[in-house]
Amino acid sequence: VLQSSNSLKASYEDWLLTYGLSISPFHMRWQTALFNRQFYSWGRWKPRFLYLWFSIGMVFGIVAMFGSVILLGKTLMQTLTQMLTEAPKAQNDRMLQVVVSVLSSGLYLRVVPGVNLPVSQLTYFFSAILISGVIHEVGHGVAAIREQVRFNGFGIFIFIVYPGAFVDLFTTHLQLISPVQQLRIFCAGVWHNFVLGVASFMGLFLLPAILFPFYYTGVGALVTEVAEDSPANGPRGLFVGDLVTNLQDCPVYSVEDWNSCLGDISEKSQVGYCISAATLQQLSFPARVYRRLDGTVECCSNNSLTDICFSYSNNLDSHLYACLPARKVIEASKVCRTNEDCQKDFVPSFCVTPSLENQTRLIRVKHPPHIDMLYVGHPMHLQYTVSLSSFVPRQNFLSIDLPVVIETFCKYLISLSGALAVINAVPCFALDGQWILNSFLEATLSSLIVEKQNRELVGFLILLAGSALLAANVALGLWMVTAR
């Protein structure tokens, strides 16, 4: 609108030029020379060290270029295989799924914040993207100054909602230096992203030692948040500040133990509880027995919030059912699988097992000094709606959220910085991989393929294949997130 106005166009464009701004549909960027002196200071610091540093980065960038093609090819095959299966694995919205995530099984392309990325995680997401982009461009800028290429300026941009960074280098200087020098500059971005990812991983790994003076670990999982709609919410449930030490007979020393215990409980059959024959007869009361649609048996017909139907076997191996008060059965009881687990001191005892729907479990959660929480439901619902931390403050005034914030941010940096390193190394048009490939071909094929046009043709065909591979991964990744 402003550019179409005869009276405002000139002043508007002058204003943009003065402040280094550039605005177009879905895209806004800001460039400045304020940091040029700092960049030149970095680029001239210990030349021999920087030469070695960016030479290592050059080797890494070339390896990453070939590795990214293998990784994208593997991911594409995995995605196609998953598409052909009858039921893809359920998406876990609480897991870190971002625009591009590098995981051990391959590269998963994920888009749409708010769909598979919780809104509460957006601050981490965008901050990690911006920091990863800035570190990437700092690598290019410092390497360029080290190779005597003129540095014009640094800037940041926003494309739709995604932030990023860029450096402005003098193109003529880039074209005049040798292919090996060009490789040091073009590979510096992915190299710095890799280093940032490794540094974040080390910070995450050493976090217990770093925070040791203020927080201790290994004593349980500290509850930091309980969702309002969580089945663990209530007067007999979990509260912020509670320390969970056991799930059933599974000890919990950290958040990893909590997740592992819930996974085991979900995969294995429901455990039972030892109860003497006399206590069983005293607590049970007659009730109508009926089968649910899934084939399981219900014998508590009064919709009680305290009673649960239990099944057990007598000496004749016949299945019997009794409606019992859950807390009285479980408290001070030993867990069991069969009646043999309960025989002690010749006292007749039975192993009574909650008769629940197929995926439902009765879970005893210990969080001393409070009374045990008895949870009935799917174990994963408990995992999704309760947030925990492995770090327990040594003093009451210390925040219980700070270690979680640091942990989460480190994980985002590892994922996003690593993803940027891999994606930018792909031999694809408009990515660093395009310039890495061209310089690599010039450095290695100039004696084999004398004609420059032929080398450019080889590079063009490789870039075309790499671009098609990346586009296929992006398209299928989007489809897996949105359509499935």
Active site residues: 137
For residue 273, give the DSSP letter: E
Cα angle 436, 437, 440 (rounded to 5 degrees) comes to 85
What b-and-e string marks burial along 394-410, b requiring 16 or more CB atoms within 10 Å of the CB?
A: eeeeeebeebbebbbbb
Task: Give the whole-angstrom CA distance, residue 391 versus residue 222.
Answer: 7
For residue 317, give the DSSP letter: -
* Pairing, β 361-366 against β 162-169: unpaired
Tokens (6 digits) for 152: 């014009």
Q: E strands within 355-418?
A: 361-366, 373-377, 386-389, 392-393
Tokens (6 digits) for 42: 């970095």
* Pairing, β 297-298 against β 290-291: antiparallel
Q: What region does 469 belong to: left with phi over 0, alpha with psi -120 to 50, or beta?
A: alpha
The alpha-helical segments, DSSP class H, found in 177-225 are 179-205, 207-210
SS3 content of the chain, % helix, strand, coil (to 5): 45, 20, 30
Q: E strands within 317-456?
A: 319-325, 335-336, 349-354, 361-366, 373-377, 386-389, 392-393
What b-and-e string marks burial along 221-257, b requiring 16 or more CB atoms within 10 Å of the CB?
A: bbbbbbeeebbbeeeebbeeebbbbbbbebebebbeb
Task: Give the whole-angstrom CA distance, residue 373 versus residue 17.
Answer: 64
Residue 376 pairs in a beta bridge with 362
Handedness of CA 379, 382, 383, 388 (dihedral sign): negative
Tokens 């997401």 -> residue: 125
* Pairing, β 319-325 against β 335-336: unpaired
